[in-house]
Amino acid sequence: MCGIVGYIGKREIKSFLIEGLKELEYRGYDSAGIAIIENESMHVFKAVGKIKNLEEKAKDFKTKEFGIGIGHTRWATHGKPTELNAHPHLGEFSYVVHNGIIENYKELKKELENKGYKFISQTDTETIVHLFEENFKHKKDPFKAFKDTISKLKGAYAILLISKASPNTIFFAKNGSPLIIGKNSKNEIFFASSDAPLIGYADEVSYLDDGVFGYADKEKIKAFKDSQEINLEFKPLTMEKEFAQKGGFRFFMEKEIYEQSRVVSETIMGRAIDGKIVFEELEKNFFEGIENIKICACGTSYHAGLSSSYLFERISKIPTSVEIASEFRYKKPLLNKNTLFIVISQSGETADTLEALKMAKNAGLKTLAICNVDNSSIVRIADKTILTRAGIEKGVASTKAFATQMMVLWMLSLYLAQIKGFDISKEIDVLLKVPKVLIVENSLHEKIKRLSKRYLHGHGFFYIGRDIFYPLALEGALKLKEISYLHAEGYPAGEMKHGPIALADPELFTIALMPKNLLYDKIKSNVEELSARDSTILAISPIEFEIADDFIKIKEQNHYMLEYFEMMLIIQLLAMEIAIRLGNDVDMPRNLAKSVTVE
Ligand code: F6R
C-alpha cells in the first residue's frame, strides 16, 4: 500500500520527508521518492528498493530556507517497481504523488497524448500531472487547473501536487484513499497518509473526508467539497507511534480485517467496466487452446484456489483441479499443454508454490500467478500475473490477502465466461456489492466479541459448509487454529456422518456456514444431525435457526457470493476474538512465519 508525506515550512525538508516515509515503511513499498521546491528551484530524488537507497541518492542535498516538499513510497499496481514508475511524477514544471488507482487513466492518457504530451512511466498517476499542466495552460490559475483536474478523475486517490506555477503551495485531494493534514504553532503544515509520520511534529490533525480538495501555503489551508469552501475539523494527535501504525486497532490483523472493504474496491477498480471484466495484464489470446485449469497453492491461498474451482466449473464451465503445492511437487504429476496452470500466493515467495510453478513452466504449460507482491519470485517466473492489490499484510494470519485473491479469482472466472460469450453482467452487478458487504459493523463485531467467551475450551471445532462454503470452512478452521492454538477442522458438511460425527458431544463446537442461496436445506439437515448428537452449534446464516446454541445473523442477500464474503469476515473476527481472549499475540502466532521460503 503506497504512502504519502508532505511538508510546508522552514524545517530541513528532505529529512522530514525521508523520516516520514520511514514511518510508512510498515505499509510495504518497492520504490520511494521525494520532490522539493525551495526558492523556486525544484529538486527530485527517486530510488528503487529500500528508503536507505533514496537517502543515499539525496545525501548531499539539504534545504536551508522556507520550502515545500512531497514524498511517496510506492507499492506497484500499474507497471513494475522501477525508478521511472516511482513517484513523484514530473510534468514540465510540476510534480505529483498519488495513492490509489485512477480508473479512467487510459482515456485521459489518450487525450493527452493526442495533444502531444509524452508519458515516460507506465503508471496511472502520471496522467494527473500532465492533465494539471494542460488545464493550467488554459486557466492560468493553478488552483482552478487543479480543481478541473480532480473533477476529471474517476477512482480512488489521495493526491499531493506541487508546481513552479505556485511554488509555495501544496494542492491536495482525497477520495477513497486516506489523507491527513497536520499543523502546529510554528506555522508548519504537514500531510501524510497515516498518523505515524506526523507524531512529534504536528499538534493537531484533520482526517480528510472523501471528495475534499484544496490547497495550503504558509499562511492558510483552504479546503473545498462540491465546490463549496468547508472548515476542516482538527483534533489533537495521538502520541504513540505503534498505535498510530495500527490505525488505532489492537492488532494489525484487526486493522487488515477492517481494510478489506477498501482493498477489495481497489482489486476491482478498472477491472469491471460497463458490464465487462477487463484484465489489462492479459492478452486476449492468452487463453487460446486452454481446456482445463490446474491451481496450486499453500495454506490460505490454497483455500482461495479451492473456492475458485467451484466458480471456474460453474461459471466458466472449465474443468478445474486444485492441489496443495507441497503434494503436487513430488507426485510426478501428468501435465498437459492444454492446462492453464494458476499459482496463488500472497507473498510470491512460498517455496513449494514457486517450485510447482517452475515444474509447470518446464513442462511447457501456460502459467498465471495471482499474487500480492509485484516483482516477487513467483511474479518474475509466471508468464502472466494478476496483482491482488491488498497492500502489505503484516498479520501472520492472512485476511485481506485472501479476500482480494477471492475477488480476483471470481473476476477471472467471469472473464473466462465472457470469452466464451456468456452473459456475465448480472454477476458483475453482484460483485460490485462486495466492498459494502465487507464493511465491519460495530454491532457485528461487538456480538462476536461477546460470543467468543463461550468458545475458549472444548475438545475441538468443526467448521462445516457445502460447495464453495466448504473451502471457506477450511479457511475458518485454519484461522482459528493458527492464532488460538485450539484444534479446529474444516469439513464438507455432508461428510460428517462418514466418521467425524462420532466426536459429537457438547464440548465439540460446530461452526455451521448456512447460506440461504446455496444448498440451504442440505446443510440444515447436516447440522440437525450434529445437534441431535449434542454438539454445540454456532450457526452463521441469514435464516434464524432454532436449534442453534448460538446464532450470528448475516444480511439477506440474493447471491451466495455475498454471503460468502460476509461469512469470511465473521470467521476472521471470531478467530481473532477467541485468540485475543486467550491472551495470544494474534499478529505473531507461535511457530509461524509470514513468508515460508523453505520446503
Ligand atoms: C494462513 C497463512 C498461510 C499462507 C501460506 C501461503 O493465514 O497466511 O497459510 O496462506 O503460507 O503463503 P502465500 O500466500 O504467501 O504463498
Where exactly are the structural domains of the chain?
Answer: 3-242, 248-435, 440-599
Q: Look at residue 1 and tell me whether its pLDDT is greater than 70.
A: no
pLDDT band at 318 (very low <50, low <70, confident <90, very high): very high
* pLDDT digit string, tens, across residues 167-207: 999 999 999 888 999 999 999 999 999 888 999 899 999 98
- Ligand 1 centroid–CA 520 distance in Å is 30
Q: Does domain 248-435 have CATH number 3.40.190.10?
A: no
377 touches ligand 1 (CB under 6 Å): no
Ligand 1 atom with minimal separation from the 350 CA: 16
295, 309 Cβ separation under 8 angstroms: yes
Q: Is 353 in the pocket of ligand 1 (CB under 6 A)?
A: yes
Q: What mean pLDDT do residues 237-261 have?
A: 86
* Contact status, residue 89 vs residue 96, Cβ threshold 8 Å: yes
Confidence of residue 258 (pLDDT cuts 50, 70, 90): very high
- What share of the chain has pLDDT > 90, as a percent? 83
> What is the arithmetic mean of pLDDT over 482-506?
94
Query: Does the beta carbon of 352 lie inside 6 Å of ligand 1?
Result: no
Whether 296 is catalytic is no
In CATH terms, are 248-435 and 440-599 the same topology? yes
**Buried/exposed 422-453: b ≥16 CB within 10 Å, e otherwise:** eebeebbebbeebbebbebeeebbebbbebbe
C-alpha cell at 12: 530541513
Query: In terms of CATH architecture, what is 440-599?
Result: 3-Layer(aba) Sandwich (3.40)
As a whole number, mean pLDDT of residues 575-599 equals: 87
Q: Is the pLDDT of residue 332 over 80?
A: yes
Cα R_g (the chain), whole angstroms: 25
Specify whether the CB–CB gap between 35 and 88 falls below 8 A: yes
Going from the Cα of 400 to the center of ligand 1, the distance in angstroms, rounded, reads: 12
**CB-CB contact of 198 with 204 (8 Å):** no
* 594 is a catalytic site residue: yes
Cβ neighbourhood burial of 114 (10 Å; 0-12, 13-18, 19+):
exposed
Mean pLDDT, residues 389-405: 94
Q: How far is CA 544 from CA 228, 438, 468, 540, in A?
A: 47, 21, 21, 9
526 lines ligand 1 (CB under 6 A): no
Three-state secondary-structure class, residue 512: strand
Q: Report whether 537 contacts 550 (CB < 8 A).
A: yes
CATH homologous superfamily for the domain 3-242: Aminohydrolase, N-terminal nucleophile (Ntn) domain (3.60.20.10)
pLDDT digits (tens, 9 = 90+) for 136-149: 999 999 999 999 99
* Nearest protein Cα to ligand 1, atom 11: 299
Mean pLDDT throughout 217-233?
A: 94
Cell numbers for 576 = 481473532
State which of 256, 298, 381 you would mutate to test the pocket of ligand 1, scoring each by most atoms of that ligand within 8 A of its C-beta.
298
* Residue 25: per-residue pLDDT: 80
DSSP state of 176: B
How confident is the model over 559-565, as a mean pLDDT?
A: 98
pLDDT for residue 399 is more than 90: yes
With CA atoms as reference, report the closest residue to 379 among 30, 53, 117, 134. Answer: 30
Contact 404 CB / ligand 1 (< 6 Å): no
Q: Any idea which residue has 509520520 for its cell?
A: 197
Among 2, 296, 298, 371, the active-site one is 2
pLDDT digits (tens, 9 = 90+) for 27-44: 778 899 999 999 989 999
pLDDT at 107: 94
For ligand 1, mutation pick of 346, 357, 591, 599 (most atoms within 8 Å of CB): 346
- Ligand 1 pocket test, pick from 251, 300, 324 with the greatest ligand atom count within 8 Å of Cβ, gives 300
